[in-house]
Amino acid sequence: MSLDFAMLGQLTQIFGPSGSEEPVGEFIANQLRPYCDELTTDTLGNLIVCRHGTGKKIMVAAHMDEIGLMITHLDKEGFLRFTTLGGVRIPNLVGQRVKFSNGRVGTIGVEKLEKPSDFKLDKLYLDIGVSSREEAELFVNIGDTAVFCGDFVESGSRIISKALDDRIGCFVAMEALKRTKSTHELVFVFTVQEEIGTRGARTAAYALEPDLAIAVDVTMTGDTPKAHPMSVKLGGGVGIKVLDHSMVTSPQIKRWMAAVATELNIPFQWEVLEYGGTDSGAIHISRGGVPSGVLSIPTRYVHSPAEMLDKRDVEAAVELLVALLERPEF
């Protein structure tokens, strides 16, 4: 299977923290307009891409937002204080670079600490290279958001980049829509604000009332030195979710996904994630309930500026999603 990973590179580098996903949505819309019947944006900002058909209404969800920071205070010397947007790991922040939507870049620093236990978010600051509050206000205001800098790099079968969570899910969904010959009613929802509470997915599922939903997102791995034991590894195939903090996948859905993968010799691995969640967590309890599953892309260093995945797992994910859309006989 030949996938356009250069497009994934473009996707990952677009500015799109939670609440500011519009540039990501515009890029995806421009790519998918020739492949759909209808393309709309709802009240929260979800991009909803429809291809009409008969039979089941199938919702595919992938979130556009990435983790980031929001500015809360500017001091008189021009240093910025911030809060986090999504699951940002505080200990990993010192020395990281972040970028604002206007292109301004800053470096995260830390105050002198009396003892290691003092290391907390309120001890960190952002230096954007200015000397006063007045100068800082030329570039940044309270409430502005920033994302981590992390170039897209291909290294053999591996890809390293910021925002693979969850631009890779968006990429898999986009490629599947281009390829599938499904005759069902397909609704691809590129959701907003997943990182801060699966908000876009919740409202979209309520409005759409799908018969079936499939989310595409990243998952952790257990294949690095002394990692928490987890039977997911890079290059092992697409993950079929069994459980995470937000959902227990029904046996019916798991069996269906695994049966299709087995029939088509698509490599897959069972995924049990002991924390975290995906858009399916909100979708499956919408209204009276929606049968839901998740295709997971094994990813190392999730929620860092250098997330890593394997192209072979991405190819397996696209192939399986295409097949599931064409035979939703769960």
In which domain, by residue range, is 236 found? Answer: 5-66+162-326
**pLDDT for 328:** 75
pLDDT at 1: 66
Q: DSSP for 154-198?
A: EETTEEEETTHHHHHHHHHHHHHHHH----SEEEEEEES--TTTS
- Which residues, 6+ apart, have CB-to-CB distance to 279 below 8 Å? 61, 62, 63, 191, 194, 198, 200, 201, 215, 217
Residues 113 and 19 in one domain: no
156 falls within a domain: no
Residue pLDDT tens, the chain, 330 long: 689 999 999 999 999 999 999 999 999 999 999 999 999 999 999 999 999 999 899 999 999 999 999 999 999 999 999 999 999 999 889 999 999 999 999 999 999 888 888 889 999 999 999 999 999 999 999 999 999 999 999 999 999 999 999 999 999 999 999 999 999 999 999 999 999 999 999 999 999 999 999 999 999 999 999 999 999 999 999 999 999 999 999 999 999 999 999 999 999 999 999 999 999 999 999 999 999 999 999 999 999 999 999 999 999 999 999 999 998 776
CATH number for the domain spanning 97: value is 2.40.30.40
Contact indicator for 128, 81 with CB cutoff of 8 Å: no
The tokens for 119 are 């290391």
For residues 12 and 73, membership in a common domain is answered with no
Question: In the chain, how many domains are there?
Answer: 2
Residue-level pLDDT at 330: 60
Q: Looking at the structure, tell me whether residues 320 and 201 fall in a common domain.
A: yes
Catalytic residue among 194, 195, 271, 315: 194
Residue with the two structure tokens 């695994």:
258
User: Is 194 tagged catalytic?
Assistant: yes
Q: Pick from 125, 148, 171: which residue ends a domain?
A: 148
- pLDDT for the residue 285: 97
CATH number of 262's domain: 3.40.630.10
Tokens at 242, concatenated: 């069994």
Residue 140 is assigned to a structural domain of this protein: yes
What per-residue string of b and e applies to 61-79 under the rule 16 or more CB within 10 Å gives b? bbbbbbbbbbbeebeeebb
